[in-house]
Structure 1
Amino acid sequence: MLVGFVDTLLNRKESLLQALGQHLEISFWALLISVLIAVPLAIWVRKYKKIAAFFLQITGILQTIPSLALLGLLIPFVGIGKVPAVIALVVYALLPIFQNTYVGLTEIDPSVEEAADAMGMSLPRKLFRVELPIAMPVIISGIRTSMVMIIGTATLAALIGAGGLGSFILLGIDRNNTDLILIGAISAALLAIITSFLIDFLQKMAGKHALILLSCLAILVGGTSGYHAITQLNEKVVIAGKLGAEPEILINMYRDLIHVQDPRMSVELQPNFGKTSFLFNALKSNQINIYPEFTGTVLETLTHSKTTPSNPWQIYQLAKQQLATDNQMTYLKPMKYNNTYGIAVRTQFAKRYHLKTIGDLQSIQGKLKAGMSLEFMDRPDGLKAIKRQYHVNFPVKGMEPELRYRAIHEGKVNVIDCYSTDSELRQYHLTVLKDDKRVFPTYQGAPLMKTSFAKRHPGVVHALNRLADHITEKQIQQMNYEVNIKKKSPASVAHHYLNQHHMLKGAPK
């Protein structure tokens, strides 16, 4: 186990450094903004107990808001990425800093205050020469608490495309890779410990020296953020993918095909970017340029089409038309395979109860315990459609996609939802029940981009259209198996497929 962990760490060292930098950047700005808000506010209200009690209650209430709910509430207003992540972290960090600053200032010995007044000190001079130095240990304790909280909570930033160490944890959960989960968790814990020691070190330094060091840190982080912002002004193709091996394989194919078309084109990949809504919003706000989307998802989730044709080509044409009309987006030609939903059971379970179709579940409803992804449970073409069309009803637990496979393997559930191309179907010897009523629409993947981008980059469009009508279900399932089970890199698996099908002439090795 240790050898595998070390190998994964060495193979992912570049990604780890990038994630660490993102995590530090988000955490630093969140802490700095929190201090700039909470400390002056506590100084101002220290003489007004009722106002102070009000702000203590407000900051306490803000901290009870579930982090995922807060991120979801922020997305419609500020989009996705680092901005909502920093705002959410600031909200959580305010209480410890405000509370400790207020307590530290209000519990100063009155005789000390009287002595400062007797010496004729002005209010600002008394604050900076007497009150703040005395209260500083308590204030620093609050800052330390907030910093540790920020670093831990910042792992959720990966859910909204802000990067950070949480990307390792999410990827590990998605791929059932304990090493990736440990790398993300241990790195976040070590970062919290190191920053806690750094805050202690700053507290022991002379005020002038501590200020100089903090200024240098601010310049360093600010300069890094500014550099990234400036470099992003130079147009490059940013390709993102949803969570999982399959989207990462596809976006690596996109990059290779674009480099074949134009080796000088700058391409940045952002794998495991998040859920469908995050990617679609990122595309609309120009945070990304391309991502692979599925025809059924377009009609059911993005355009909320009232009618869904039964013919796969008609589904694609309707999705393409609605995206162009409603969102000014271009939907390129789809690949061959259909990554639709499915209902899976263990093969032994299917044999025992003679299960071949989803409708067969009706006769054993009392024996069913299901584990399904939250997205499938909520989608109109998911669990709701199954219950409506097949007249089956059984208890369902919501869980992360990869966890439901572990649950059925360990016997905690006996029915799960799946994608028809999942490698875990082969890994855990599962049988996909036939959708004889054709409840699940066709899901063919294709590159999605803004029409304005497509017009500026006809070469990119031409390159990505080379995947049209390629890749069968068997081929993509095998590629997923190689990444998830054999632990091959998505880049190498994607490169091998394109090379095998003669699409990489002139591509960089």
Structure 2
Amino acid sequence: MEFITELLSYMAENKENLLQYTFDHILMVIYGIGMAIAVGVPLGILAARYEKIAPFILSTVNVIQIIPSLAMLAILMIYFGLGFTTAVIGLFFYSLLPIVRNTYVGVKEVSPNLLEAGKGLGMTGLQVLRKVQLPLSIPFFMAGLRVASVIAVGVACIAPYIGADGLGREIVSGISLRSEIKIYAGAIPAALLAIFADTILGFMERRTKKRIV
């Protein structure tokens, strides 16, 4: 109970810094995931439509995902320097796999009968993709976005090691000072952000499934 009181007191005294760190954290995640969507969705569609290049695309994003996050950020730091940009690029790479894979699976899972029906109505291949495959693959995409968001919130916590801000600033400072209060002051809001993102995107995923059904 005493620890909780101390923690709440610390968070109240430093609420301005914590709010700023939270804002920076959210901004990094949004930018990173936004870039991943812009690149990952087209890659997933390409992999689904052209089976010959699908193994290359999926293998590449899989390899990126298994690189330890701190090592990835350290490598990026060599080329892009310290700061916000490097952290965003790192989050972009870590968000690619679930978005590419789920887009690929979503497009591939559309029933061949529906594709034939679209072609029978005189649709071109692009029209079938835009009006049939993509709308029906939205629940899969949302599931990938949900996973990517949770991963990005977690990975963003180590961004301070390469000069960026975010809630990891409190965690890293707490580790250096051996202060449990500071570690929890950064870890708890980060965990709440991950839970919030998972809950909201999970709700949206279920809504898209119901619309399709």
State the match for 2:24 in structure 1.
Answer: 22
- Unaligned runs of at least 5 residues, structure 1: 207-509
Q: Residues of 1 paired with 2:88 and 2:7: CA distance?
A: 31
Instruction: Report 1:304-383 matches (<5 A).
Output: none
Show CA shifts across 1:438-477 (max 9, x none): xxxxxxxxxxxxxxxxxxxxxxxxxxxxxxxxxxxxxxxx
Identity %: 37
Instruction: Report 1:180-329 matches (<5 A).
Output: 180-203=182-205
Show CA shifts across 1:110-132 (max 9, x none): 11111111111233332222111
Q: Residues of 1 paired with 2:47 and 2:207: CA distance?
A: 28
State the match for 2:96 in structure 1.
Answer: 94
**Among 94, 103, 106, the residue aligned to 2:105:** 103
State the match for 1:494 in structure 2.
Answer: none
Q: Count residues in correspondence.
A: 206
State the match for 1:54 in structure 2.
Answer: 56
State the one-letter code of the partner of 1:23. Answer: H
State the match for 2:11 in structure 1.
Answer: 9
Q: Residues of 1 paired with 2:33 and 2:200: CA distance?
A: 14
State the match for 2:122 in structure 1.
Answer: 120
Q: Residues of 2 paired with 1:182 and 1:4: CA distance?
A: 11
> How far does residue 139 in structure 1 lie from its aligned partner after superposition?
1.1
Find the structure with the greater CA-based Rg. 1
State the match for 2:211 in structure 1.
Answer: none
State the match for 1:245 in structure 2.
Answer: none
State the one-letter code of the partner of 1:106. Answer: K
Q: Residues of 1 paired with 2:177 and 2:103: CA distance?
A: 44
**Alignment of 1:153 onto 2:147:** no
State the match for 1:172 in structure 2.
Answer: 174
- Report the structure, 1 or 2, having the larger helix content: 2
> How far does residue 199 in structure 1 lie from its aligned partner after superposition?
2.2
Q: Residues of 2 paired with 1:118 and 1:173: CA distance?
A: 63
Q: Residues of 1 paired with 2:44 and 2:91: CA distance?
A: 19
State the match for 2:140 in structure 1.
Answer: 138
State the one-letter code of the partner of 2:69. Answer: S
State the match for 1:374 in structure 2.
Answer: none
State the match for 1:32 in structure 2.
Answer: 34
Tell me the secondary structure at the aligned position of residue 9 of structure 2. Answer: helix
Tell me the secondary structure at the aligned position of residue 46 of structure 1. Answer: helix
**Among 41, 44, 51, the residue aligned to 2:43:** 41
Distance 1:128 1:200, change over 3 A: farther
- Report the structure, 1 or 2, having the larger strand content: 1
Tell me the secondary structure at the aligned position of residue 123 of structure 2. Answer: coil
> How far does residue 2 in structure 1 lie from its aligned partner after superposition?
1.3
Instruction: Report 1:408-427 matches (<5 A).
Output: none
Q: Residues of 2 paired with 1:2 and 1:193: CA distance?
A: 21
Tell me the secondary structure at the aligned position of residue 15 of structure 1. Answer: helix
> How far does residue 205 in structure 1 lie from its aligned partner after superposition?
6.7
Q: Residues of 1 paired with 2:174 and 2:108: CA distance?
A: 47
Q: Residues of 2 paired with 1:49 and 1:68: CA distance?
A: 33
**Alignment of 1:78 onto 2:99:** no
RMSD after superposition: 1.5
Q: Residues of 2 paired with 1:158 and 1:130: CA distance?
A: 43
Q: Residues of 2 paired with 1:162 and 1:181: CA distance?
A: 17
State the match for 1:369 in structure 2.
Answer: none
Tell me the secondary structure at the aligned position of residue 140 of structure 1. Answer: helix
TM-score if structure 2 supplies the norm length? 0.91
Q: Residues of 2 paired with 1:84 and 1:43: CA distance?
A: 27
Show CA shifts across 1:254-310 (max 9, x none): xxxxxxxxxxxxxxxxxxxxxxxxxxxxxxxxxxxxxxxxxxxxxxxxxxxxxxxxx
Q: Residues of 1 paired with 2:80 and 2:100: CA distance?
A: 25
